[in-house]
Homo-oligomer: A and B are copies of this chain.
Amino acid sequence: MSVKDALRGQRIETPSWAYANSGTRFKVFAQPGVPRTPYEKIDDAAVVHRLTGVAPTVALHIPWDRTDDYGKLAEYARDRGVALGAINSNVFQDDDYKLGSVCHPDPAVRRKAIGHLLECVDIMDQTGSRDLKLWFADGLNYPGQDDLRARQDRLAEALRETCDRLGDDQRMLLEYKLFEPAFYATDVPDWGTAYAHCLELGEKAQVVIDTGHHAPGTNIEFIVSFLLRAGKLGAFDFNSRFYADDDLMVGSADPFQLFRIMHEIVLADALDPAAGIAFMLDQCHNIEPKIPAIIRSVLNVQEATAKALLVDREALAAAQRAGDVLAANGALMDAYNTDVRPLLRELREEMGLDPDPMTAYRRSGYAERIVRERVGGEAAGWGA
Q: Which residues of A contact B (CB under 8 A)?
A: 22-27, 29-30, 92-93, 95, 97-99, 105-106, 137, 141-149, 152-153, 178-181, 183-186, 189-193, 195-196, 199, 214-219, 221-223, 225-226, 228-230, 241-244, 246, 248-249, 252-256, 260, 264, 267-268, 286-289, 292-293, 296, 303, 316-317, 320-321, 323, 325-326, 328-333, 336-339, 341, 358, 383-384
Residues of B contacting A95 with CB < 8 Å?
29-30
A316→B142 CA distance, assembly (Å): 13
In the complex the two chains form, is A181's CB within 8 Å of B24's CB?
yes
A219→B148 CA distance, assembly (Å): 11
Q: What are 29 A-B pairs with beta-carbon distances under 8 A?
A: A24-B180, A26-B92, A27-B97, A27-B137, A29-B95, A29-B98, A99-B325, A141-B286, A141-B288, A142-B325, A144-B333, A149-B225, A149-B228, A149-B229, A183-B242, A184-B242, A190-B190, A192-B193, A192-B195, A192-B223, A192-B226, A196-B226, A215-B215, A216-B217, A217-B242, A243-B244, A244-B244, A255-B336, A296-B330
Known interface pairs A26-B92, A228-B149, A264-B148. Does A288 touch B242 (Cβ–Cβ under 8 Å)?
A: no
In the complex the two chains form, is A241's CB within 8 Å of B183's CB?
yes
Known interface pairs A92-B26, A148-B225, A226-B196. Does A183 touch B217 (Cβ–Cβ under 8 Å)?
A: no
Q: How many copies, total? A: 4
Nearest CB in chain B to that of A90: its residue = B26
Of B142, B339, B384, which contacts A338 at CB under 8 A? B339
